[in-house]
Amino acid sequence: MTESALPPAPPVAVILLAGGTGKRAGFAQPKQLERLGGKPVLRWSLDTFAAHPAIAGGVLVANDDIMAAIGPLPDGWISADPGAERQQSVANALAALADRDDATLVLVHDAARPGVSGEVVDRLLAALRTADATIPTLPVPDTLVEQAHDEAGDVVDRSVLARVQTPQGFRLGTLRRAHAEAVEAAATDDAQLVRRLGIVVVAVPGDARLHKLTYAEDMAILSGLLGTNAMMRTAVGMGYDVHRLVTGKPLWIGGIEIAHSHGLEGHSDADVALHAITDAILGGLADGDIGDHFPPSDPQWRGAASHRFLAFAGERVSTRGGRIDHIDLTIIAEAPKIGPHRAAIRARIAEILALPVERVSVKATTTERLGFTGRREGIAAQAVATLQLPEN
Protein backbone atom coordinates (compact mmCIF):
# COMPACT_ATOMS: atom_id res chain seq x y z
CA MET A 1 0.00 0.00 0.00
CA THR A 2 1.49 3.36 -0.98
CA GLU A 3 1.62 6.16 1.56
CA SER A 4 -0.92 8.17 -0.43
CA ALA A 5 -3.31 5.19 -0.24
CA LEU A 6 -3.06 4.86 3.54
CA PRO A 7 -6.24 5.66 5.50
CA PRO A 8 -6.40 8.80 7.65
CA ALA A 9 -4.33 8.56 10.81
CA PRO A 10 -6.39 7.41 13.83
CA PRO A 11 -6.43 9.45 17.06
CA VAL A 12 -3.50 9.05 19.44
CA ALA A 13 -3.64 8.77 23.23
CA VAL A 14 -0.84 8.38 25.78
CA ILE A 15 -0.62 6.28 28.93
CA LEU A 16 1.99 7.98 31.12
CA LEU A 17 3.06 5.78 34.03
CA ALA A 18 4.12 7.69 37.14
CA GLY A 19 2.87 5.47 39.94
CA GLY A 20 6.11 3.92 41.16
CA THR A 21 7.76 4.86 44.44
CA GLY A 22 11.27 4.99 42.97
CA LYS A 23 12.91 3.83 46.22
CA ARG A 24 16.10 2.69 44.48
CA ALA A 25 16.85 6.29 43.50
CA GLY A 26 17.24 7.21 47.18
CA PHE A 27 15.51 10.60 46.93
CA ALA A 28 13.47 12.13 49.74
CA GLN A 29 10.42 12.18 47.44
CA PRO A 30 9.21 10.08 44.49
CA LYS A 31 11.72 10.38 41.67
CA GLN A 32 8.98 11.62 39.33
CA LEU A 33 8.92 14.84 41.36
CA GLU A 34 12.68 15.44 41.53
CA ARG A 35 13.57 18.63 39.68
CA LEU A 36 15.50 18.34 36.45
CA GLY A 37 16.36 21.56 34.68
CA GLY A 38 13.95 23.52 36.83
CA LYS A 39 10.87 21.30 36.61
CA PRO A 40 9.75 17.90 37.93
CA VAL A 41 10.98 14.85 36.01
CA LEU A 42 7.36 13.87 35.29
CA ARG A 43 6.63 17.25 33.73
CA TRP A 44 9.23 16.70 30.97
CA SER A 45 7.25 13.85 29.42
CA LEU A 46 3.88 15.45 30.10
CA ASP A 47 4.89 18.70 28.37
CA THR A 48 6.34 16.90 25.34
CA PHE A 49 3.21 14.82 24.78
CA ALA A 50 0.89 17.80 25.37
CA ALA A 51 2.78 19.82 22.76
CA HIS A 52 2.75 17.12 20.05
CA PRO A 53 0.15 17.96 17.38
CA ALA A 54 -0.88 14.32 16.76
CA ILE A 55 -1.64 13.54 20.42
CA ALA A 56 -5.18 14.25 21.57
CA GLY A 57 -4.66 13.62 25.30
CA GLY A 58 -3.94 10.76 27.61
CA VAL A 59 -4.06 9.15 31.02
CA LEU A 60 -1.58 10.01 33.76
CA VAL A 61 -1.28 7.08 36.16
CA ALA A 62 -0.26 8.57 39.50
CA ASN A 63 -1.29 8.66 43.14
CA ASP A 64 -3.02 11.62 44.78
CA ASP A 65 0.19 13.10 46.23
CA ILE A 66 1.87 13.21 42.82
CA MET A 67 -1.26 14.61 41.19
CA ALA A 68 -1.38 17.41 43.77
CA ALA A 69 2.31 18.23 43.31
CA ILE A 70 2.32 18.25 39.51
CA GLY A 71 -0.43 20.82 39.06
CA PRO A 72 -3.22 20.97 36.46
CA LEU A 73 -3.17 18.43 33.64
CA PRO A 74 -3.16 19.61 30.02
CA ASP A 75 -6.43 19.69 28.11
CA GLY A 76 -7.61 16.21 27.12
CA TRP A 77 -5.77 14.46 29.96
CA ILE A 78 -7.31 12.47 32.80
CA SER A 79 -5.83 10.49 35.67
CA ALA A 80 -5.99 6.90 36.89
CA ASP A 81 -4.84 5.20 40.07
CA PRO A 82 -1.63 3.16 39.98
CA GLY A 83 -1.59 -0.55 40.71
CA ALA A 84 0.78 -2.52 42.89
CA GLU A 85 2.72 -3.51 39.75
CA ARG A 86 3.32 -1.79 36.42
CA GLN A 87 1.06 -4.24 34.58
CA GLN A 88 -1.89 -3.34 36.81
CA SER A 89 -1.20 0.37 36.33
CA VAL A 90 -1.49 -0.06 32.56
CA ALA A 91 -4.68 -2.07 33.04
CA ASN A 92 -6.14 0.78 35.13
CA ALA A 93 -5.26 3.24 32.37
CA LEU A 94 -6.91 1.01 29.77
CA ALA A 95 -10.06 1.00 31.87
CA ALA A 96 -9.96 4.81 31.87
CA LEU A 97 -9.82 4.68 28.05
CA ALA A 98 -12.90 2.45 27.85
CA ASP A 99 -14.71 4.91 25.59
CA ARG A 100 -11.92 4.93 22.97
CA ASP A 101 -12.21 2.89 19.78
CA ASP A 102 -9.93 -0.14 19.29
CA ALA A 103 -8.36 1.64 16.30
CA THR A 104 -6.99 4.39 18.56
CA LEU A 105 -3.20 4.46 18.73
CA VAL A 106 -1.76 4.45 22.23
CA LEU A 107 1.75 5.23 23.44
CA VAL A 108 2.74 3.73 26.80
CA HIS A 109 5.57 5.64 28.46
CA ASP A 110 7.44 5.51 31.75
CA ALA A 111 7.69 8.95 33.37
CA ALA A 112 11.16 7.95 34.62
CA ARG A 113 12.36 8.52 31.04
CA PRO A 114 12.05 12.34 30.79
CA GLY A 115 13.98 12.63 27.52
CA VAL A 116 11.13 11.67 25.19
CA SER A 117 11.18 13.77 22.02
CA GLY A 118 8.79 14.56 19.22
CA GLU A 119 11.10 12.77 16.80
CA VAL A 120 10.76 9.45 18.63
CA VAL A 121 6.98 9.89 18.80
CA ASP A 122 6.90 10.54 15.05
CA ARG A 123 8.89 7.36 14.33
CA LEU A 124 6.54 5.26 16.44
CA LEU A 125 3.41 6.72 14.86
CA ALA A 126 4.83 6.20 11.38
CA ALA A 127 5.44 2.51 12.18
CA LEU A 128 1.88 2.16 13.51
CA ARG A 129 0.47 3.15 10.14
CA THR A 130 1.12 -0.44 9.04
CA ALA A 131 1.95 -2.34 12.27
CA ASP A 132 0.05 -3.27 15.43
CA ALA A 133 2.94 -2.69 17.82
CA THR A 134 6.26 -0.86 17.81
CA ILE A 135 9.06 -0.10 20.27
CA PRO A 136 12.15 2.15 20.24
CA THR A 137 15.44 0.31 20.62
CA LEU A 138 19.13 1.14 20.81
CA PRO A 139 22.08 -1.10 19.89
CA VAL A 140 24.24 -2.46 22.72
CA PRO A 141 27.69 -0.82 22.39
CA ASP A 142 29.47 -2.65 25.22
CA THR A 143 30.94 -6.11 25.34
CA LEU A 144 28.58 -8.35 27.30
CA VAL A 145 29.55 -11.35 29.41
CA GLU A 146 27.73 -13.83 31.54
CA GLN A 147 28.49 -13.30 35.21
CA ALA A 148 28.12 -15.49 38.27
CA HIS A 149 28.74 -13.53 41.46
CA ASP A 150 32.06 -11.69 40.84
CA GLU A 151 33.35 -13.99 38.10
CA ALA A 152 33.10 -12.98 34.43
CA GLY A 153 32.02 -15.77 32.11
CA ASP A 154 31.52 -16.25 28.37
CA VAL A 155 30.99 -13.32 26.01
CA VAL A 156 27.39 -12.88 24.81
CA ASP A 157 26.78 -12.05 21.14
CA ARG A 158 25.62 -8.45 21.34
CA SER A 159 24.81 -8.27 17.61
CA VAL A 160 21.44 -9.92 18.27
CA LEU A 161 20.64 -7.80 21.33
CA ALA A 162 19.08 -4.37 21.72
CA ARG A 163 18.10 -2.05 24.56
CA VAL A 164 14.34 -1.50 24.75
CA GLN A 165 12.97 1.91 25.66
CA THR A 166 9.61 3.63 26.02
CA PRO A 167 7.30 5.02 24.77
CA GLN A 168 5.97 1.86 23.13
CA GLY A 169 3.21 2.15 20.56
CA PHE A 170 0.18 -0.08 19.99
CA ARG A 171 -3.22 -0.18 18.46
CA LEU A 172 -5.50 0.09 21.46
CA GLY A 173 -7.42 -3.08 20.58
CA THR A 174 -4.16 -5.04 20.45
CA LEU A 175 -3.03 -3.76 23.84
CA ARG A 176 -6.42 -4.50 25.38
CA ARG A 177 -6.30 -8.08 24.12
CA ALA A 178 -2.72 -8.56 25.34
CA HIS A 179 -3.63 -7.48 28.87
CA ALA A 180 -6.88 -9.45 28.89
CA GLU A 181 -5.02 -12.65 28.04
CA ALA A 182 -2.16 -12.02 30.47
CA VAL A 183 -4.06 -12.56 33.71
CA GLU A 184 -1.51 -15.00 35.11
CA ALA A 185 1.51 -13.73 33.14
CA ALA A 186 3.95 -11.06 34.26
CA ALA A 187 6.04 -8.85 32.03
CA THR A 188 8.33 -5.85 32.48
CA ASP A 189 6.88 -4.08 29.45
CA ASP A 190 3.80 -4.24 27.24
CA ALA A 191 5.61 -5.38 24.10
CA GLN A 192 6.33 -8.74 25.79
CA LEU A 193 2.61 -9.29 26.37
CA VAL A 194 1.81 -8.41 22.75
CA ARG A 195 4.48 -10.80 21.40
CA ARG A 196 2.86 -13.64 23.36
CA LEU A 197 -0.16 -13.19 21.09
CA GLY A 198 2.04 -13.96 18.09
CA ILE A 199 1.96 -10.34 16.92
CA VAL A 200 5.09 -8.87 15.36
CA VAL A 201 6.54 -5.93 17.29
CA VAL A 202 8.36 -3.55 14.94
CA ALA A 203 11.53 -1.88 16.23
CA VAL A 204 12.33 1.74 15.37
CA PRO A 205 15.46 3.71 16.30
CA GLY A 206 15.39 4.92 19.90
CA ASP A 207 17.18 7.86 21.46
CA ALA A 208 20.04 7.98 23.98
CA ARG A 209 18.22 10.84 25.70
CA LEU A 210 15.57 8.32 26.80
CA HIS A 211 17.90 7.24 29.58
CA LYS A 212 15.93 5.91 32.54
CA LEU A 213 16.13 7.51 35.98
CA THR A 214 16.75 4.57 38.30
CA TYR A 215 19.52 5.69 40.66
CA ALA A 216 20.48 9.12 42.03
CA GLU A 217 23.54 9.28 39.77
CA ASP A 218 21.27 9.06 36.73
CA MET A 219 20.24 12.67 37.35
CA ALA A 220 23.70 13.88 36.35
CA ILE A 221 23.57 11.74 33.20
CA LEU A 222 20.13 13.10 32.28
CA SER A 223 21.25 16.68 32.92
CA GLY A 224 24.02 16.21 30.39
CA LEU A 225 21.83 14.41 27.83
CA LEU A 226 19.01 16.96 28.05
CA GLY A 227 21.21 20.03 28.12
CA THR A 228 20.00 21.31 31.47
CA ASN A 229 23.59 22.31 32.27
CA ALA A 230 23.49 24.82 29.42
CA MET A 231 24.27 28.48 30.12
CA MET A 232 21.27 30.16 31.66
CA ARG A 233 20.42 33.83 32.05
CA THR A 234 18.24 35.50 34.66
CA ALA A 235 15.11 37.23 33.39
CA VAL A 236 12.79 39.30 35.59
CA GLY A 237 9.23 40.25 34.71
CA MET A 238 6.77 42.54 36.48
CA GLY A 239 2.98 42.34 36.39
CA TYR A 240 0.27 44.66 37.63
CA ASP A 241 -3.50 44.29 37.56
CA VAL A 242 -6.58 45.89 39.07
CA HIS A 243 -10.28 45.00 39.12
CA ARG A 244 -13.36 46.79 40.39
CA LEU A 245 -15.27 45.42 43.39
CA VAL A 246 -18.96 44.77 42.72
CA THR A 247 -21.83 43.09 44.54
CA GLY A 248 -23.25 39.75 43.50
CA LYS A 249 -19.99 38.08 42.41
CA PRO A 250 -17.67 35.63 44.18
CA LEU A 251 -14.25 36.94 45.20
CA TRP A 252 -11.31 34.98 43.78
CA ILE A 253 -7.81 36.00 44.88
CA GLY A 254 -4.72 33.88 44.36
CA GLY A 255 -6.64 30.89 43.08
CA ILE A 256 -8.91 30.53 46.11
CA GLU A 257 -12.41 31.81 46.76
CA ILE A 258 -12.66 34.16 49.75
CA ALA A 259 -15.95 34.87 51.48
CA HIS A 260 -16.67 38.60 51.14
CA SER A 261 -19.53 41.01 50.53
CA HIS A 262 -18.15 41.94 47.09
CA GLY A 263 -16.39 40.19 44.25
CA LEU A 264 -14.17 41.39 41.41
CA GLU A 265 -15.61 42.35 38.06
CA GLY A 266 -13.93 41.13 34.88
CA HIS A 267 -14.27 39.08 31.72
CA SER A 268 -12.86 35.98 33.43
CA ASP A 269 -13.15 35.25 37.16
CA ALA A 270 -11.12 38.50 37.62
CA ASP A 271 -8.52 36.95 39.93
CA VAL A 272 -6.34 40.03 40.21
CA ALA A 273 -3.46 38.17 41.88
CA LEU A 274 -3.16 35.38 39.30
CA HIS A 275 -3.47 37.94 36.48
CA ALA A 276 -0.56 39.95 37.89
CA ILE A 277 1.62 36.83 38.22
CA THR A 278 0.70 35.68 34.71
CA ASP A 279 1.76 39.06 33.30
CA ALA A 280 4.98 38.96 35.33
CA ILE A 281 5.93 35.57 33.89
CA LEU A 282 5.02 36.61 30.34
CA GLY A 283 7.05 39.78 30.90
CA GLY A 284 10.09 37.76 31.89
CA LEU A 285 9.66 35.80 28.67
CA ALA A 286 9.15 39.01 26.65
CA ASP A 287 6.03 37.25 25.41
CA GLY A 288 3.37 39.94 25.49
CA ASP A 289 0.74 40.09 28.19
CA ILE A 290 -2.35 38.22 29.31
CA GLY A 291 -4.57 40.13 26.90
CA ASP A 292 -2.50 39.03 23.92
CA HIS A 293 -2.99 35.36 24.72
CA PHE A 294 -6.50 35.53 26.23
CA PRO A 295 -8.21 38.56 24.67
CA PRO A 296 -11.30 39.77 26.57
CA SER A 297 -13.08 40.09 23.22
CA ASP A 298 -13.02 36.29 22.89
CA PRO A 299 -16.20 34.82 24.45
CA GLN A 300 -14.48 31.51 25.27
CA TRP A 301 -12.69 33.22 28.19
CA ARG A 302 -15.86 34.69 29.71
CA GLY A 303 -15.93 33.54 33.33
CA ALA A 304 -12.81 31.39 32.83
CA ALA A 305 -10.85 30.28 35.89
CA SER A 306 -7.63 32.29 36.01
CA HIS A 307 -5.53 29.32 37.05
CA ARG A 308 -5.70 28.32 33.37
CA PHE A 309 -3.93 31.54 32.41
CA LEU A 310 -1.23 31.07 35.03
CA ALA A 311 -0.66 27.41 34.11
CA PHE A 312 -0.33 28.49 30.47
CA ALA A 313 2.37 31.02 31.40
CA GLY A 314 4.22 28.41 33.43
CA GLU A 315 4.11 25.98 30.52
CA ARG A 316 5.57 28.69 28.24
CA VAL A 317 8.59 28.83 30.53
CA SER A 318 9.00 25.04 30.42
CA THR A 319 8.67 25.00 26.62
CA ARG A 320 11.56 27.47 26.40
CA GLY A 321 13.68 25.13 28.51
CA GLY A 322 13.57 27.55 31.42
CA ARG A 323 12.41 27.47 35.02
CA ILE A 324 10.70 29.76 37.50
CA ASP A 325 13.03 30.58 40.38
CA HIS A 326 10.76 32.81 42.44
CA ILE A 327 7.39 34.57 42.52
CA ASP A 328 6.82 37.65 44.68
CA LEU A 329 3.18 38.83 44.90
CA THR A 330 1.78 41.87 46.68
CA ILE A 331 -2.01 42.25 47.05
CA ILE A 332 -3.26 45.79 47.67
CA ALA A 333 -6.66 45.92 49.37
CA GLU A 334 -8.44 47.51 52.33
CA ALA A 335 -10.72 44.48 52.66
CA PRO A 336 -10.91 41.57 53.00
CA LYS A 337 -7.91 40.88 55.18
CA ILE A 338 -5.46 38.71 53.24
CA GLY A 339 -3.46 37.50 56.23
CA PRO A 340 -5.78 34.61 57.18
CA HIS A 341 -5.68 33.35 53.57
CA ARG A 342 -1.99 33.92 52.83
CA ALA A 343 -0.83 30.33 53.37
CA ALA A 344 -3.63 28.92 51.20
CA ILE A 345 -2.85 31.41 48.42
CA ARG A 346 0.86 30.52 48.50
CA ALA A 347 0.06 26.82 48.35
CA ARG A 348 -2.38 27.26 45.45
CA ILE A 349 0.04 29.34 43.36
CA ALA A 350 2.81 26.80 44.01
CA GLU A 351 0.44 24.00 42.97
CA ILE A 352 -0.54 25.69 39.71
CA LEU A 353 3.07 26.37 38.75
CA ALA A 354 4.43 23.04 40.12
CA LEU A 355 6.83 24.95 42.38
CA PRO A 356 7.96 24.34 45.95
CA VAL A 357 5.94 26.66 48.16
CA GLU A 358 9.22 28.17 49.40
CA ARG A 359 9.60 29.82 45.99
CA VAL A 360 6.34 31.72 46.30
CA SER A 361 6.06 34.91 48.36
CA VAL A 362 2.67 36.46 49.11
CA LYS A 363 2.34 39.82 50.87
CA ALA A 364 -0.54 42.21 51.42
CA THR A 365 -0.80 45.91 52.11
CA THR A 366 -3.26 48.79 52.10
CA THR A 367 -3.03 52.33 50.74
CA GLU A 368 -3.97 53.87 54.10
CA ARG A 369 -7.49 54.59 52.80
CA LEU A 370 -6.13 56.62 49.89
CA GLY A 371 -7.14 56.14 46.27
CA PHE A 372 -9.56 53.63 44.74
CA THR A 373 -8.29 50.76 46.88
CA GLY A 374 -8.54 52.92 49.99
CA ARG A 375 -12.15 53.72 49.12
CA ARG A 376 -12.77 49.97 48.66
CA GLU A 377 -13.69 50.46 45.02
CA GLY A 378 -11.26 47.80 43.79
CA ILE A 379 -8.32 45.55 44.53
CA ALA A 380 -4.89 45.72 42.89
CA ALA A 381 -1.96 43.32 42.74
CA GLN A 382 1.59 43.53 41.57
CA ALA A 383 3.99 40.64 41.03
CA VAL A 384 7.60 40.01 40.15
CA ALA A 385 8.67 36.74 38.52
CA THR A 386 12.31 35.67 38.44
CA LEU A 387 13.07 33.18 35.66
CA GLN A 388 16.07 31.24 34.44
CA LEU A 389 16.12 30.94 30.64
CA PRO A 390 18.66 29.26 28.36
CA GLU A 391 20.95 31.53 26.39
CA ASN A 392 20.06 31.57 22.70
Q: What is the structure's pLDDT at 30?
A: 86
Last residue of a domain, one of 209, 225, 241: 225
- pLDDT at position 4 over 60: no
Q: What is the CATH number of the domain that holds 294?
A: 3.30.1330.50
Q: Are 56 and 93 part of one and the same domain? A: yes
Q: Are 338 and 266 part of one and the same domain? A: yes
Q: Are 205 and 236 part of one and the same domain? A: no
Q: What is the mean pLDDT of the chain?
A: 90
The pTM (predicted TM-score) of the whole model is: 0.61
What's the pLDDT band for 267 if we cut at 50, 70, 90?
confident
pLDDT greater at residue 22 or residue 71: 71
Q: Are 288 and 173 part of one and the same domain? A: no
Q: Are 376 and 319 part of one and the same domain? A: yes
Q: What is the structure's pLDDT at 206?
A: 95
pLDDT greater at residue 7 or residue 282: 282
What's the pLDDT band for 1 if we cut at 50, 70, 90?
very low
Q: What is the structure's pLDDT at 230?
A: 59
Contacts of 317 (CB under 8 A, 6+ apart): 281, 284, 285, 323, 324, 387, 389
Q: Are 216 and 241 part of one and the same domain? A: no
Q: Please state the rounded mean pLDDT for residues 325-347.
A: 95
Q: Are 164 and 303 part of one and the same domain? A: no
Q: Are 273 and 289 part of one and the same domain? A: yes
Last residue of a domain, one of 225, 244, 278: 225
Q: Are 286 and 370 part of one and the same domain? A: yes
Domain that holds residue 145: 3-225
Query: Amino acid identity of 354?
Result: A
Q: What is the CATH number of the domain that holds 189?
A: 3.90.550.10
Q: For residue 240, which of 389, 378, 38 has the smallest C-alpha distance?
A: 378
Q: Please state the rounded mean pLDDT for residues 18-26.
A: 73
Last residue of a domain, one of 225, 247, 267: 225
Counting the structural domains of the chain, the total is: 2
Which DSSP symbol is given to 369? T
- pLDDT at position 3 over 60: no
Per the CB < 8 A criterion, the answer to whether 188 and 86 are in contact is yes
**What are the pLDDT digits (tens) for 92-112?**
999 999 999 999 999 999 999
Q: For residue 168, which of 215, 101, 123 has the smallest C-alpha distance?
A: 123
Q: Please state the rounded mean pLDDT for residues 127-141.
A: 95
**What are the pLDDT digits (tens) for 181-197?**
987 777 889 999 999 99
User: Highest mean pLDDT range out of 65-69, 201-205, 227-231?
Assistant: 201-205
Q: Are 13 and 84 part of one and the same domain? A: yes
Q: Are 76 and 182 part of one and the same domain? A: yes
- Dist. CA 60–CA 5, nearest whole Å: 34
What's the pLDDT band for 271 if we cut at 50, 70, 90?
very high
Q: Are 217 and 305 part of one and the same domain? A: no
